[in-house]
Structure formats: C-alpha cells, structure tokens
Amino acid sequence: ACLLRGGLEWERFDFVRSDDALIPRDFNQWSMFLALDFRFSRKDMIRLQTRPGAYLENAKPDGRDINSPMALAYTRVVSNDLQWSLGMSINHWRNHPYTGGGGLRWRINDRWRLKMMLPEPQVEYKVRNGLNVFVGGDFRGDSFRMSENFGSKRGRPDLDNALVDYQELRAKVGFSWHILPLLEFNMATGYVVDRAFYYHNNGLKLTSEPSPYINVAFQWLFEVNKPLEEPSGAEIKQFDTPNLERVLPNVPKIFSK
C-alpha cells in the first residue's frame, strides 16, 4: 500500500534580547510537508519525506532562503505491541548534513507505553480512554539563513547571510486528550534545559540560560476515505517514524554568552 501525505507548515521562534545581540529577534519557517509511505508488508514500511520552503531570520524571504531538508526512514512492526524505526536526515544547510537516528515504541501493557521515538521520546500512561499523561523530552531545531545585513548592523559583517543551526532540548510533562476521534488537544510544560545558536561557517556558538515553557496545541485530522479493512491491533493502527529533520546533533561549545 502507498500513502501520500501533504500539508502546509508555519513555525516561528521569538527571542527577547538587546538590539545589538548576535541572537536574532525571530526565526520563521514557511514550508510544505510532502511524504510518501510505502508499506510493502503488514510489518514493514519505508517513508520518504521532504519539507521544501523558506527558513529565514526575518519575514522577507528571497531565493537564498529556500531549502529542502529530506528524511528517509524504515519502520518494522515486530508485533501489535512493539515496533522500531531507523532513519536518516539530509540537510545541506546543517553543520552535519547527514544525521542518523531512530527509536522504538513499546506498549508494555494496557496502561503504559514507552515511546522512545525522536524527536519526542516519552513514557505515556493511559488514565482512561482518550486521556493520556506523559513525561519525556523534546529535541527540536532547524537550520536558518540570516538576513543580508544582520551582521553589518552589529559589527560582524561575516554574519551577513550566514547559516545558523538552532536547537532546543526540553524536559516536559503533560497530557493528551482525544476530544473526538480526529480532534486532539495537547498541553505540556517543562524546562528548556539547553538552547544554542551555532553559526557553523563562522565558528560562533551562543547559548542561553535554562528557562520554563508551556506548549498548547490542537490537532485536527481529516479522513478523506474510510479504510475498507480495519488494521489489526487495538492500539497501534499506524506506523510511527522518527521525524529526524528537526533533530540536530549536539554541537561543540566554541563560544558562549
């Protein structure tokens, strides 16, 4: 079976800092999400995905801000309770263009699930049908291009149009509530234990102090056609794949501020 996935994404990071700081005011991402899932048996699936779009420091994109990170992943369903994945992310803007990873998902029993799948590994407990609580981590980041005069305004012209790897490492607790079969509400709170800006072509890394955060999200899915046959397994009705495009490897500390 083949499944084509598609959509539009917008993400924005805002930072409070002084006007002369080498940290940007914001990062913006406008992109498409395109993925092809090829399931060649009931236990094996391959996913190929890409997110072409603009990844930039300000809100005025041009041709230099266009990038197309890609990921390839393989998922193996060992049983209805256990599956594992391996994958590779390809992003030529990143300091490490090729990054590997993976994870596993294990339903220990009817209440407990171990979801060690990047970028959000977590332990999940089922309170009742439709309501789960969890504790875990959140590894997120991406690569962005700075504006053409970002460095010149700060006495660092070498940072004009520079590429920067941005990453966050979070510890969190939260809950997930399935309001309707295709409508989900998620809330999480925790601590950003590490935040880094790495201008890898310029040998400059900036870090910030840990800080608390809260995240609230709604997810609304649309079912175009109902499946002719319900897949086996009460809980695992789809393959999980690691979202490696948003995972950045830890970068060496060169300079901190």
| 37 phi, psi to nearest 5 deg | -100, 120
- pLDDT band at 120, cuts 50/70/90? confident
Model confidence pLDDT, tens digit, residues 189-212: 999 999 999 999 999 999 888 889
pTM of this prediction?
0.80
d(CA 147, CA 59): 10
Query: What's the average model confidence in pLDDT over 78-82?
Result: 92
Tell me which residue of 47, 57, 46, 139 sits closest to 93, measured CA to CA. 57
State yes or no: pLDDT of 253 exceeds 60: no
d(CA 187, CA 122): 14
Cis amide leading into 231 (omega within 30): no
Give the distance, in angstroms, between the CA of residue 98 and the centroid of all CA atoms in the same chain.
16
Tokens of 209: 């102090």
